Structure 1
Amino acid sequence: MLLLLLHRSSLEASHRFHNLLRNGASLAVTSRSYADVRGKILAIRREDQSVWERRAPLSPTNVRKLVRAGVKVLVQPSNRRAYPMQAYANAGAIIQEDIGEAPVIVGVKQIPIDFLLPNKTYCFFSHTIKAQEANMPLLDAMLEKNIRLVDYEKMMDENGHRVVAFGKYAGVAGMINILHGLGLRLLALGHHTPFMHIGPAHNYRNSGMARQAVRDAGFEIAIGMLPKSIGPLTFVFTGTGNVSQGAQEIFQDLPHEYVPPDMLQKVANHGATNKIYACEVSRRDHLIRIKGGPFDAKEYDEHPSRYISVFSKKIAPYASVIINGIYWAPNSPKLITIPDAKVLIRSAQSRLPWVQTSLGSPPLPHRLLAICDISADPGGSIEFMNECTTIDNPFCLYDAEQHKDTKSFKGPGILVCSIDNMPTQLPREATDFFGDLLLPHIFDVLQSDATRPFEDHTFTKVIEGAVITSNGKLTKNFEYIQDLRNQRARTKHRIVGDYDAQTKRVLLLGAGYVSAPVVEYLTRSNDVAVYVASALRDEADNLARRFPRTEPLLLNVEERPDLLKEFIDKADVVVSLLPYALHPLVAEQCIASKTNMVTASYLSPAMKELHQRAVDAGISVVNEVGLDPGIDHLLAMECFEEVHQGGGKVKSFVSYCGGLPAPECSDNPLRYRFSWSPRGALLNTVSSGRFLKDGKVVEIPAGGALLEKAEKLDFLPGFAFEGFANRDSLDYVDHYGIPEAATVFRGTIRYSGYSDHILGLIQVGLISQEPHPCLHVGGPDITWRQFMCTLLGITDFNIFYGNLKNQLFERTGRNASRVKAMEDLGLLSEELVVKYGNPIDTISQYLAKRLAFGPTDRDLVVLRHEVDILWPDQRHELRGINLVCYGQSSSAGYSAMARTVGYPAAIATKMVLDGEIQRKGMVLPFIQDIYRPMLKRLKAEGIVADENTSIAVNDKQDPCLEQQIEFGSSALGSEPFEVLKLHKPEVFDNFELSDDIKKSLMVKFQRRSCWPSLITSQVKLELAVCFFLTDAFFIRNKAPVLSLHKSLAPFAVGVVVEGSPTRAVELEDLRRLMSLEFKQSKIPVLPLCAPWTTAQCDARGLPYLIFLSDSTLEQGICGLRSRDTSLQEQVHVSDVVERLKKFLVQ
């Protein structure tokens, strides 16, 4: 309460100061006397920047004071001004169109270039001090016309505080607008609220009328008219300046309570709904020094790059509405970045388990509902706000997942209001307020003569520091603007082309089959230009002719590294569709040029070595965003995220992927066709493989053993598929975040027969990378038949054809099918060999032509994930994820491979361009901020996977019969977890034991001899048993099954649902949301359902059980049972988490 009173007293003081200004006391602050300005001429120009602009820099009252001081005031006629022309005429001004005789001209907003008069002094908001691109032509025109510009924004006192501003009324209008928008947004989400009766600011004659509407809404809120399903509403105000104070002045007409930032989370989760919570956030609350130490305001002002902001993690997750009114400098940390926004709209942050919802009273999709960015700084502290809204269209809905705005209140996203001229919605009050502040300084500005040198004037510090241009150049304080422009020119105006400054330039290396979808997707955006670089001029020219804003470049990256450097220097991002071996060459240059890069290929060891250098250069190098790798990762991560959020575990992950000809086009010996060089596909067949199966690492040596272990695949019974291992699958255990999986396998799909026939080529020696003398480019001509004889060691090239086939039959392990395949491929023909030095390069070029796709042939992409999931209730789910995509013939459109490789690469590139991907170094698509939006955008392109699932229920209802428990303990050594199994005495029936051993194992229990329970352990048996026995000893447990000590319990809380079937869905939602809140506090939760018993839960070591029932939904009451006391008590759901945290969180 004390803070609130102090705050209000400061506002009252502000009002008293404002009244003093209006009564003329402001004239005393200037050292100029009336005689200094007698005979001077001042012009007030007409505002034409917006149809809504009704403000003026000076009010009629201000003009009257100037006229009395001897100033001749000219006013350009305008019926749009809030104050009519007659009011200015009555004050002594001269109303006339021509204002050329005035050496000083004042206005509010930017002036059209054609209306600028040379050799004048202008005062207005120019919006040029950050080298804003849109206003650089205006700045250039003022330099050219020898205009002296005084920018209101830079008129500051000795403490760096602005002395003239509309800030207060920007805050007032902004607050009214966002309350209006909040009402409409909540209505679109299914909630009528008192905010619906608040209109936009310009609907009211003055702020007093608007405040009455806000008070009326506040009364309804105070008597409980806000829907309970909305939960507590929190408003966050950034900064403590005029903007924030003006906004809070309106806010305080609502029933409210101010809380400090460290209490924001608590009131967001547990606050009341009959008032609104407010939090004023200063720089000290969210700025952290990177190298540690306390916040230093002076250091931050001078070196903002030494600080980072935690606003998006500490403040924004608990804000319903953010009112942003801070000044943002170009090198300052942002409050909310584009990736931050994706996290903020995840639904888990808004759902409160104790808030009752239903179909008619839906929960909010996410906590953060709206942002009023009064600073209206595109790309500034709110990074995704890249374009101001207008009074005509004051709101947009920002969908962070799709990174796009819509002019709607309905749909996913955050409502944004960012009007850059909000004070004009309350034009008279804004004019009065601003004019009273400006008037004292007008006497100083009137001394200006733009034709004389700036140094000849004796301006006050306030005016001197606000002069941006004078005598045809930037003044000393603002020469940095040119540096910013030069820097932007180096990064933006990179590759030559007739495009504007906002155009983003993409350098695409490679113009092959996959390139067309990349170019097509990127050039859908009018602000993107693509430069296609290829060693083949025709390929690049063809692409450039097909798509807008596409330019061809001739480049061989190996032969012309100088051109590669030049092109990369001029690009915003580089997309490499070259062979993977060339990616490190490109990445090296991208690092040197500090240019981002995207590639669809695997992250090779050579690329991994460049990670830290890329981080140091501050660039993102996005890898593995094609099909395989690429879409396979996205689908897998989406599945794993769902499993882990539900408390499940991935026990097995098996994945296959392949690009194939459509079945009707597979009529050749390999059942395969090539759309690009076969070399990579052939090399994979002789590479090694490694994967995890049933907890054991399986290694397959190089040389063709992969194909020998090919297996038949029947997940799509209509296809004759086979599959074999693909590279090293173990790398993806960590990437996918599935250390619990016993099987992790990634493989390649081919039609049956491929592996067998390729093995024949390997056995003969056609897949060898070793140079062969017969294939020397300068050697004599040789036919395929002769070369095959050489490979078989036959010196007589005239050998009888049948004998040659017999020799081949023996070499291939007496496999007639392999011989027939080589014969059908023409490898026994008299056709001359086009030599490339070694067998694999030679056969690759041969097959590329022989098995190329024809003009009417189609291809097919098949991807399959098989995931074995173990849920907490011991259900086994077998989930199959299939992606089947048919392509079009080359004459009709894109191939399936081009679409499934090109579109993901293009989507990732656009995300880099738009700032959605900001991680530095070598980046892989394993994080939500990447794979979620990519999957949504692929769906929009028609690339969608299907899922099927089957459930296997564990018949063993008694988990103690063979109970597997995983837990972690530092006492257990370096192992990530310990696995114990508790076996009931029946297990000894399976052992063949001698009578002596049986006798020694028998124990006394309840006056009779019996078998004991058996404990097995993977790591340290003696230590695990000690923990068990300790628990049993202290609680004097007489049960035949030892209880797990609660310090080792894998789960701390069990949540049991006992409601009626009709409320099952609601109770399940409540249980899931309550579990999420426990997990945020790092308390593991085990969801339970029948036939689990409390005894079995005690045996598992569960310290607490929570029981949810119908009464929980109706009254908020749940049951809480402690294992130590066996007592069950009634607790409100809003208290249970905090209560258990006291006992379970150390």
Structure 2
Amino acid sequence: MGVTVQVQHCNRRIWTDDDFRKAGATIVGDVSQADIVVGIKEVPISELSATPVKGQTHFMFSHTHKGQSYNMDLLSRLLGQARLIDYELLTDHAGPDGKRTIAFGWYAGAAGLVEGLCAYSRYLLTLGIATPILHLPRPFMHASLSEMRKSLKILGRRIQAEGVPREAGPIVVAVTGAGQVAAGALDMLKELPAVLVQPLELGKIVKYQGMDLHKVYVVHAPAAHYLQRKDGRGYNRNDYYCDPDSYHSVLYRLIAPYVSLIVNGAGWRPGFPRLMDNAQLTEALRLAWNIGPGRLGTISDVTCDLEGGLEFVTQASTIDTPVFVVKPSDSLVDHPGVSIVSIDILPTELPRDTSVHFSNAFMPYLVAFVRQRLNAKEREHDGLLIKSLDRATIVQGGKLLSQHEWLSGRLTTAPVQRSKASRSDRGTDVLVLGSGMVAKPVIDTLCQRTDLTVVLASNNLQEAQLFANVHPNLRLVTADASDRALMEGLICKADVVISLLPAPMHPKIAEICIQQQAHLVTASYVSPVMQSLHEKALSADVLLLNECGLDPGVDHCAAVDLIQRIQNDGKQVRSFISFCGGLPAPEFSNVPLGYKFSWAPHGVLMAAKNSAHFKLEGEVFDVPGEMLLKTHFSDIPLFQGFALEGLANRNSINYIKPYKLGQLETMSSQLRGTLRYKGFTSLMSVLSQIGLLDETSSLSLDTWSDLLPRCLERVVGLPVRDSLSRGAAMTDVLGERWYHQEAALEWLGLLPSLAAMKEGFYPTVPEISLPPLSLLSILMSHRLRYEPGERDVVILSHEVVAGPGPMTSPDTEATVHSYLLVVYGDEHSSAMARTVGLPVAFAALRILDGDMDMRGVVVPTHPRIYANMLKDLATVGLVFRDTVTNVPGIGPALRASWTHT
């Protein structure tokens, strides 16, 4: 036919490059200039050509025709440049009853069933229960579908012969849905000693003492089995699709508590009832736990519709890490949680069979399409195939086709593609300044993009070298950020600069970025000096993106997202209360301050001196910086198991405008606060009163034991030479209160103790004079550091009270919307490093890929920024829990706990 076939080099395919060469293809590194690009999953934007050939056509599962927000950038990018044909829209005939002709559902269901069984066997093993299922290989370990069937047959014979332990049995598998996914799973179950049962039989089967442990019970549950009308009438398919609001799911109580494994193949879309929401999952787990430990151990969500039919499936797992665990609510503290399998590329675990299936189905379409492009004579069935291809076209001639025009309202401005060829010749894509506590997730995320060149500039080469040993596309530079000439030399070569330096250094770096026309990303608050650079940055076409960490940063993104959704529902926000904090995990919190440092201590100590301005329960408060530690919220009622207190965080009123909350007068509360364990403010107040938070003058120390006496001398104006004068000075400043903190001061090394005489107790004494606050930072970073094996936790909570109008009385109808993020650190990174570092890295990548066209001094309340940021965070498991209740908000409790001493 006069066609050249290029195949992009890849070592992951079931067929090798040599196989393709033997078939007549040419192996290349880039296929972006081909006339026809045939893929499977959606193409990463980074791999699309900035200058495609005229009339280029892409075939793929683009996941765009439903308006899914996460892929609108791809659709925007293809508009005006290519034709997009989506396999999912290829049907045997026109109209709503047309059946899809290319799909992988059957193979996904088959692999999902086996993955679910394997995950369930490991779940049981954590409970100390071994079953024959442990010996079942995972799908990708089989060379073919027939081999996987043989493994299931072997497992079936073992179950028939040996049975399963009574604690686990009987094995019950529920398969939801009525399509190809369910068909694949049910077909695989035929290889086991399976007995098909009805949902109403499950209770008898599971609870019967003479249960048969040598069988596998299977319940097939299409929608009619678990959807009921709220008025009690039975399920009717036409009625359901016309009026889905009248139905609710009873899967959580009718089926879920009795089964071992659920394989979910039921489709879902917004506006229809979920199969199980978060609250229903907790109830199902409670019921299941009461029946026995083997109940509801695993859910294999083959649909992988994130936060869809199964609300608690918030992330896609991977073949490498196939399982994540969802814990029930705090009411089931001893429950191990349910294992979730949500692999979204399940068919690739059976690559040979799936590829043959796909090729056989797609080849007639492709041949017909190529013949049309070549103006070749039509074959008998080409006309029908071309009509089907036309129906499956989303974009053509640079425009959305008429049936898809509605998607234009979902589109973002098409990003400017920055391929290697189109980047500037600066030489550095991202320059990272600083290699401290939050640098690891930043570097790891950036360097995953092997097409990027990343430079890390640090004054601690030994610390930075750890990153270079892992990432070949990372280059290290020893640099002092105070050396302006050196900074200019580095920044002039970079497209984007990430500053992880202390906040006071950011404006100087920003000035150089403006001069050198490089974009800047920081995680720090916008200072007045930084804000003053706005017009200069606009003139230079430079973006200075600040407040892009955790708090500030992720808190902005989540707040604006939540508030916007509430307002889109026609409600008015009456109260906004937010608290955020990075803390040691409870098991590692038994230290002075109840705190350990997962980022620079200097910033934590400085934050204890900020003034605060907020509104709470109708009253506006102004707290001077010197009074912040003496005025705090003694009880923050977020969790039953956490003893939390809080400090007001800077000027909360300033966020009414960027959060688009309207007028302060219409709101009862507007408060942003910082979380700490109880006791933090009491000890910090003592440290402040004895002069350790002073930064107006400097001290030179011979030993660390000099620090407290020297500070006391400045406070009381008298010499402090021995224990007697030290005690008198402490009593003079603090009264009898200081005795309550004596043990904590000894632990920190501020008072003499036997422990302080041990080697390694103190850090090295600085050789230069420093302010007391800086000296205390050095001491605390040593004494309150995280030891190997210890972990931290980040808690971010937004509570919004909303109603149909302004708050006029306490009895006014209102709903309470809670948005909660809880992240624990692990052996790879602290929670603080992830929640501060990942947003910075994601923002830099978005800038590089042309997704941020705003300029000047910007914070992430812009819709294009916060929507993408939440989407990017979700890909790494940082997902907010969103709940709506009618219970009272926490405002009155906070007002009652407001302490002023």
TM range (shorter): 0.5 to 0.7
Q: CA deviation at 1:716?
A: 1.2
2:799 is aligned to 866
Matched, 1:762 2:705: no
Contact 2:632 2:681 in 1 (8 A): no
Q: What is the CA–CA distance in structure 2 between the aligned matches of 1:514 and 1:910, rounded to whole Å?
A: 17
2:424 is aligned to 492
2:375 is aligned to 429
1:849 is aligned to 782
Within 5 A, what are the aligned runs for 1:352-363?
A: none
Distance 1:429 1:673, change over 3 A: closer
Which of 546, 552, 558 is the aligned partner of 2:476? 552
Which of 651, 661, 676 is the aligned partner of 1:750? 676
> Quick one: which amino acid aligns to residue 730 of structure 2?
L
Distance 1:930 1:356, change over 3 A: farther
Contact 1:661 1:858 in 2 (8 A): yes
Q: CA deviation at 1:179?
A: 9.6
Q: Deviations over 1:286-321 (max 9, x none)?
A: xxxxxxxxxxxxxxxxxxxxxxxxxxxxxxxxxxxx
Partner-residue secondary structure (3-state), 2:469: helix
Distance 1:748 1:658, change over 3 A: same
Distance 1:638 1:812, change over 3 A: same
Q: What is the CA–CA distance in structure 2 between the aligned matches of 1:807 and 1:748, rounded to whole Å?
A: 32
Q: What is the CA–CA distance in structure 2 between the aligned matches of 1:627 and 1:833, rounded to whole Å?
A: 32
2:869 is aligned to 934
Matched, 1:514 2:438: yes
Contact 2:427 2:453 in 1 (8 A): no
Q: CA deviation at 1:517?
A: 0.8
Distance 1:674 1:357, change over 3 A: same
Q: Which has the bigger relative contact order, CA under 8 A and spacing at least 6? A: 2
Q: Which deviates further from its counterpart, 574-583 or 688-697?
A: 688-697
Percent of residue pairs identical = 31
Q: What is the CA–CA distance in structure 2 between the aligned matches of 1:181 and 1:798, rounded to whole Å?
A: 82
Q: What is the CA–CA distance in structure 2 between the aligned matches of 1:671 and 1:111, rounded to whole Å?
A: 60
Within 5 A, what are the aligned runs for 1:68-79?
A: none
Q: What is the CA–CA distance in structure 2 between the aligned matches of 1:618 and 1:749, rounded to whole Å?
A: 38
Name the larger-Rg structure: 1
1:808 is aligned to 730
Q: CA deviation at 1:592?
A: 2.0
Matched, 1:837 2:770: yes
Within 5 A, what are the aligned runs for 1:416-495?
A: 425-426=371-372, 429=375, 491-495=423-427
Within 5 A, what are the aligned runs for 1:772-921?
A: 772=698, 775-776=699-700, 783-784=706-707, 786-793=709-716, 795-799=718-722, 801-815=723-737, 816-829=739-752, 834=766, 836-871=769-804, 875-888=813-826, 892-921=827-856
TM-score (normalizing by structure 2): 0.52
TM-score (normalizing by structure 1): 0.42
Contact 1:634 1:932 in 2 (8 A): yes
Q: CA deviation at 1:603?
A: 1.9
Q: CA deviation at 1:758?
A: 0.9
Distance 1:420 1:703, change over 3 A: farther
Distance 1:420 1:910, change over 3 A: farther
Within 5 A, what are the aligned runs for 1:36-185?
A: 48=4, 50=6, 178=85, 182-184=89-91
Q: What is the CA–CA distance in structure 2 between the aligned matches of 1:186 and 1:760, rounded to whole Å?
A: 78
Which of 610, 614, 627 is the aligned partner of 1:704? 627
Q: What is the CA–CA distance in structure 1 between the aligned matches of 2:48 and 2:584, rounded to whole Å?
A: 55
Q: Deviations over 1:928-965 (max 9, x none)?
A: 332233223323322233344431599xxxxxxxxxxx
Distance 1:850 1:195, change over 3 A: closer
1:89 is aligned to none
Distance 1:620 1:185, change over 3 A: farther
1:532 is aligned to 456
Contact 1:620 1:919 in 2 (8 A): yes
Q: CA deviation at 1:518?
A: 1.3
Partner-residue secondary structure (3-state), 1:824: helix
Within 5 A, what are the aligned runs for 1:315-394?
A: none
> Quick one: which amino acid aligns to residue 903 of structure 1?
L
> Quick one: which amino acid aligns to residue 907 of structure 1?
F
Partner-residue secondary structure (3-state), 2:453: strand
Which of 561, 565, 587 is the aligned partner of 1:638? 561
Contact 1:875 1:952 in 2 (8 A): no
* Unmatched tracts of structure 1, length 5 or more: 1-44, 53-79, 82-109, 114-123, 126-132, 137-150, 154-170, 198-354, 367-396, 410-418, 433-485, 497-504, 955-1146
Distance 1:881 1:766, change over 3 A: same
Q: CA deviation at 1:666?
A: 2.3
Contact 1:694 1:742 in 2 (8 A): yes
Q: What is the CA–CA distance in structure 1 between the aligned matches of 2:541 and 2:786, rounded to whole Å?
A: 42
> Quick one: which amino acid aligns to residue 913 of structure 1?
L
Q: What is the CA–CA distance in structure 2 between the aligned matches of 1:735 and 1:814, rounded to whole Å?
A: 46
Distance 1:602 1:913, change over 3 A: same
Distance 1:875 1:776, change over 3 A: same
Partner-residue secondary structure (3-state), 2:592: coil
1:672 is aligned to 595
> Quick one: which amino acid aligns to residue 780 of structure 2?
L
Distance 1:781 1:913, change over 3 A: closer
Q: What is the CA–CA distance in structure 1 between the aligned matches of 2:799 and 2:269, rounded to whole Å?
A: 34
Which of 944, 948, 951 is the aligned partner of 2:879? 944
Contact 1:685 1:704 in 2 (8 A): no
Q: CA deviation at 1:407?
A: 10
2:858 is aligned to 923
Q: Deviations over 1:751-796 (max 9, x none)?
A: 1111111111111111111114xx148x999823542452354655
Partner-residue secondary structure (3-state), 2:481: coil
Matched, 1:192 2:97: yes
Contact 1:812 1:818 in 2 (8 A): no
Partner-residue secondary structure (3-state), 2:625: coil
Contact 1:688 1:706 in 2 (8 A): no
Q: Deviations over 1:226-278 (max 9, x none)?
A: xxxxxxxxxxxxxxxxxxxxxxxxxxxxxxxxxxxxxxxxxxxxxxxxxxxxx
Q: CA deviation at 1:534?
A: 0.7
Which of 614, 631, 634 is the aligned partner of 1:691? 614
Q: CA deviation at 1:825?
A: 2.3
Q: What is the CA–CA distance in structure 1 between the aligned matches of 2:730 and 2:28, rounded to whole Å?
A: 84
Q: Deviations over 1:707-739 (max 9, x none)?
A: 433422222121221101111111111111112
Contact 1:600 1:629 in 2 (8 A): yes
Q: What is the CA–CA distance in structure 2 between the aligned matches of 1:878 and 1:424, rounded to whole Å?
A: 57
Contact 2:437 2:600 in 1 (8 A): no
Contact 2:712 2:729 in 1 (8 A): no
Which of 511, 525, 545 is the aligned partner of 1:588? 511
Aligned residues: 549
* Unmatched tracts of structure 2, length 5 or more: 9-22, 36-45, 56-78, 103-240, 248-265, 272-304, 306-313, 316-343, 348-364, 379-417, 757-761, 806-810, 890-901
Q: What is the CA–CA distance in structure 1 between the aligned matches of 2:526 and 2:782, rounded to whole Å?
A: 29
Within 5 A, what are the aligned runs for 1:386-405?
A: none
Q: What is the CA–CA distance in structure 2 between the aligned matches of 1:610 and 1:408, rounded to whole Å?
A: 50
Q: CA deviation at 1:427?
A: 5.5
Distance 1:765 1:421, change over 3 A: farther
Q: What is the CA–CA distance in structure 2 between the aligned matches of 1:933 and 1:541, rounded to whole Å?
A: 32
Q: CA deviation at 1:430?
A: 7.5
Q: What is the CA–CA distance in structure 1 between the aligned matches of 2:371 and 2:690, rounded to whole Å?
A: 83
Partner-residue secondary structure (3-state), 1:894: coil
